[in-house]
Each structure stands twice: as structure tokens, then as C-alpha cells.
Structure 1
Amino acid sequence: MLRDGHIHTPYCPHGSRDSLKSYVEEAINKGFTSMTFTEHAPLPKTFTDPVPDKDSGMEQQLLESYITKIKEIKKEYQKNIDILLGFEVDYIEGHEPGTRTFLNEYGSELDDSILSVHFLKGPSAYHCIDFSPESFLAAVDDFGSIEMLYNTYFATVEKSVSSDLGVYKPERIGHMSLVRKFHQRFPSPDNWDEPVPKLLRQIAEKNYQLDYNAAGFFKSLCQESYPAPHIAEQAVELGIPLIYGSDAHISNAVGQGFNKINQTLIKG
């Protein structure tokens, strides 16, 4: 089965207006037999989005439309491709109750979802660490060092794995080394991956999956997968399934980077 498990939609406020059909047709044309739409879920009402345009998550009032339209196109193309309905849900330290409430309300509708860390709780503010090099540098300044930022990132991913988000908690951890998005401008600290073995063991113990995300290949300051290649290999050694994801935000990006990842590591 050829599967793209991480795809966004026209409901993404920072993506494109490409139609759902255009994403599906692109997947079919590239030989995929399964795809998951994983739009950014609305952020908890208690959380203030730190990015300038406040556009990190879907608007709450569009949720019912999103679910309805994905179900419609799923039925329309059922003979051509297996379409799964999902979300990319943010884990935000300190706002777990709002996330749990959202999942309790909508989780029964979902086929497949991803749990990701984009936001870190800093000493003075929350930071979106993948928004821009400038915002990343501001986070480094708040944490006091890039070492502290990296440590906090992996500690937060660990909290996402262990958190109680209810029975509908996503079981795939998104782009696990996203903190490396700008590493070619801001070099990662020595031994930056020291927390990884423990984190992978916890993921394995939970029987969770990892998003094997190819979008980093197309980020000029990253140019590697999330997780980084050696982490992906460690994950497979522990029996953690890797699910390829394009993280497409435009329709022609479906399947991007599939030829760049280690396809022998993919389980589905």
C-alpha cells in the first residue's frame, strides 16, 4: 500500500485554496492507494496563537464543513483510493484540557490523526518554533540558549506522548525533529539528539507511530526528513511504524519527497 498520511486542505488558513479534489487526483496520479487529510485542528480557546496572522489552526466555525466535505469526497473516490479523515492536533503544554475537550467532541468522527508540537512554553511567552528563522531566534533568546530550546522541545514531545488526552488521542507523533527546521542557519547543539533514545522507547511502549515527514527536504535551512534519518532508523529498530507524510499544503506537493526518504523503513 502506497500511503501519504499527512496532507492539508483548503481549510488550512496558511495554506492554498486548492480544492480537495485536486489533492485526491494528485495522489491517484502519483500512484497512492491511501491518503489522510490531516488539517490543523483549531487551537484551544484558552491559547493565544503567537504567530502574527493568528493562522496556525483551522477556524472553529469551519469544523463541521471540513468533516462533511471529507466524508463526501471519501465516498466519491472510494473505488479509486482510500481516503481517511483526520486532524493534525497540537500538543500545547498547559492547554491539555482544551485539546482533550476537542478530541472528546470530534474524535469519534476520525479515521486517523497526528499529534504534533509546534509551540513551546518559554520563560516569558509561547513560541511557534517553525514559523520563521526570526521567531526561532526569538525563542532561543527567551530560553537563554539553543541548548535549552532543544531540551525543552524534546521534553515537550515527551509530554505529548505521555499526556492524557482521552480515548481519541492521536497515536502518530508528528515531525519529531521539527526543531531542526532552521539548523543550517542556527546549528544544532552538540549531542542535540541525546534525549531521543528515551523518547523513542516511550513511543514504542505506547505502540504509537511516527510521522516520516518529507517536508523538511524542501525547507532551505533544513534539507532533511523529520525525524532526521538516523532517528528514523532507530525508531524502526524499536518496532515503531513510520508513516510517510508529504505535509502537503498545496495539491501538487502530495507525495513530495517520497523518493528522498528511506522507503525500506516504511510500514504503511
Structure 2
Amino acid sequence: MLRDGHIHTQYCPHGSTDSFDQYIERALGLGFSEITFTEHAPLPEGFMDPAPSRDSSMRKSDLELYLRDVEYVKKQYASSLTIYTGLEVDFIPGFEKETTQFLTEYGPHLDDAILSVHFLPLNGQFVCIDFSEEEFERIVKEAGSIEFVHQLYYDTVLKSVQANLGPCKPTRIGHITLARKFQRMFPCTKSFEPEINRVLQEMKKAGYSLDYNGAGFVKPLCRETYPPLDIARAAYSLGIPLVYGSDAHAAAGIGQGLEQIDRTIIIEGSV
């Protein structure tokens, strides 16, 4: 039973206008039996989206519509595909209280969820590390080095794992090597193996699963999954469940990177 646990929708401002039906028909055509729609959750009140285009997540006013639409297609396709209602929630240092309040309110409506880091605190403001190579270059210059950006990223991912966000906290951690998205243009000489191993150990302790994300492989400046094979296998050796995610932002993205992951170590079926 093949599962895609990380899919975006037309409610994503930086995605496509493809319909739920288009995503679902693509998933069925590729032989998936289970999928989770994980739209970017609205950002916390008081947090200014640091992406240059201010389009990182869905509008709060669209959230109820999104939840309603997912529930509708769940019933419509119930005989051929198991669909889970989910969100990709941002961990933002300093906004733990607001995130907990959001999860307390909306967590009971979800079947599945991912906790991810896209934003880093840098010199008194936040930056979005995966927006573009130009923005990443600006961030590196402001930080002083690529190594500093990577260190800050893994430190923040560790905080996301350790954070108390209440009983509805997502238990799957998203794309834990997203800092490598532009590595072919901005290579990092340090491996950060100890930092990544610490993240994995804390995930194991908490009983969390890992987003085994195929999107990085199709990014021309990355060309590897998030995480790459060695880290994915290290997670598996620790007993951390891995869930394949296409991180599709258009219907054509369903299944991306699937041939590059180790299919023998992923969970296939059931949240």
C-alpha cells in the first residue's frame, strides 16, 4: 500500500491552481492507496511572513474552506483512496504559545500533520531559507557564512522536536535537511552529522516519524531527497518510522523523488 504523506493544494499561495480531483487522479494513476493533504497552516497572529513574496502559507480565512474541501473529497473517493486531512505547521521560535493555541483549536479536526522549519531567527528578524537561491545568498551574507545558516537550521529543527506544543502537536518532522536546497550553488563544507544525529535521537525519544521528502531531488540546486539516503537509513536503524512525501505543489508533483528513496524503509499505509 503506497502512501504519500505530504501534498499541498490550490490553497497554497506559492503553488498551483490544480484541483483536488487532479491531485487525487494523479495519485490513483500512480498506484497510491493513501494520501494526506498537508497544506501550509496559516502563520501565527503577529508573525510577519519573511518570504519576499509573502506567500508562505494559506490565509486564515481559507482554513475552514480547506478543511471542508478535504472532507468532501475524502467521502467522494472513499471507495478507491484513503485520504487524510492534514496540515504542515511551521515551528517558529518565540511563537510556541500561538502555535499551541492554533493546534489546540484545529488539531482535533486533523488526521495527520507535519511540523516543519522554514523560518530562522537571524539578527533580530526572521528569514525564509527555502524561498530562492538569491534570497538564500542574501541570508548567507547576513549570517556571515553558510555553515552558520546550517547550524541555525539544525538547532531550530532540534527545538521543534523538543518543543511543548500541546497534545495536538504534529508527530512527523518535515524535510529535516531543507538547508541543503541550494547546496550545488552554495556548498557547505561541514557535514553536521552530530547535529543531525542529535535531532534523530530526540525524535526517537519522542516517538516521532520522519518526512522522507522527494521534492529535494527535483530541485536543480539540490538533487537529493530530504533527507538523503544515508540519513534516512540512519533514522530507520534507530526505529524512526519514515513516511514518503512528494511535497507536491501541483498535481504533476505527486510521486516526485519516489524512485530515489529507499522503498524498503518507508511505512506503506496507515497514519
Offset, 1:131: 0.4
1:33-65, Cα deviation, whole Å (9 max, x unpaired): 000000000001111011122110100000110
RMSD over aligned CA atoms reads 0.9
SS in 2 for 1:194: helix
Post-superposition Cα deviations, 1:97-141, rounded to whole Å, max 9, x if no partner, equal 111111111000000000000000011421100001111122212
The whole-number CA distance in structure 1 between the counterparts of 2:194 and 2:147 is 11
Aligned to 1:170: 170
Equivalences for residues 121-136 of structure 1 within 5 A: 121-136=121-136
User: What letter is aligned with 1:164?
Assistant: N
Note the residue ranges of structure 2 that are not aligned, 5 or more in a row: none
The CA distance in 1 between the partners of 2:226 and 2:17, in whole Å, is 25
2:234 maps to 234
User: By how many angstroms is 1:172 displaced?
Assistant: 0.3
Query: Which residue pairs with 2:43 in the alignment?
Result: 43
In 2, the alpha carbon distance for the partners of 1:228 and 1:188 equals: 15
Q: One-letter code of the match for 1:211? A: D
CA contact (8 A) 1:176 1:227 kept: yes
Q: Which residue of 2 aligns with 1:79?
A: 79
Q: After superposition, where does 1:46-61 map in structure 2 within 5 Å?
A: 46-61=46-61
In structure 2, the partner of 1:16 is 16
Alpha-carbon distance in 2 for matches of 1:191, 1:263: 25
* In structure 1, distance between residues paired with 2:133 and 2:126: 16
Matching residue's letter, 1:239: G
Mean alpha-carbon deviation: is it higher for 52-61 or for 30-39?
A: 52-61
- Percent of paired sites with the same residue: 50
Q: In the alignment, which residue of structure 2 is the partner of 1:103?
A: 103
Q: Which residue of structure 2 aligns with residue 28 of structure 1?
A: 28
Letter of the 2:158 partner, please give it: E
Q: Distance in 2 between matches of 1:193 and 1:132?
A: 25
Moved >6 Å (runs of 4+): none
- Normalised by the length of structure 2, the TM-score is 0.97
In the alignment, does 2:153 pair up with 1:153? yes
Report the Cα distance in structure 1 between the residues aligned to 2:12 and 2:241, rounded to whole angstroms: 27
CA contact (8 A) 1:46 1:98 kept: no
Q: Is the 1:120–1:129 contact (alpha carbons within 8 Å) kept by the matching residues of 2? A: yes
Taking structure 1 as the reference length, the TM-score comes to 0.98
What's 1:63 paired with?
63
Partners in 1 of 2:191 and 2:19 — Cα distance? 43
Q: Is the 8 A contact 1:124 1:142 kept in 2?
A: no
CA distance in 2, matches of 1:80, 1:214: 24
Structure 1: state its 5+ residue gaps. Answer: none
The offset of 1:145, in angstroms, is 1.5
Cα deviation digits, residues 192-236 of structure 1 (max 9, x gap)? 333111111100011100000000111000000001211101000
Letter in 1 for 2:265: L
- Distance between the aligned counterparts of 2:193 and 2:175, measured in 1? 14
Q: Could you tell me which amino acid in structure 2 is paired with residue 81 of structure 1?
A: L
Q: How many residues align?
A: 268
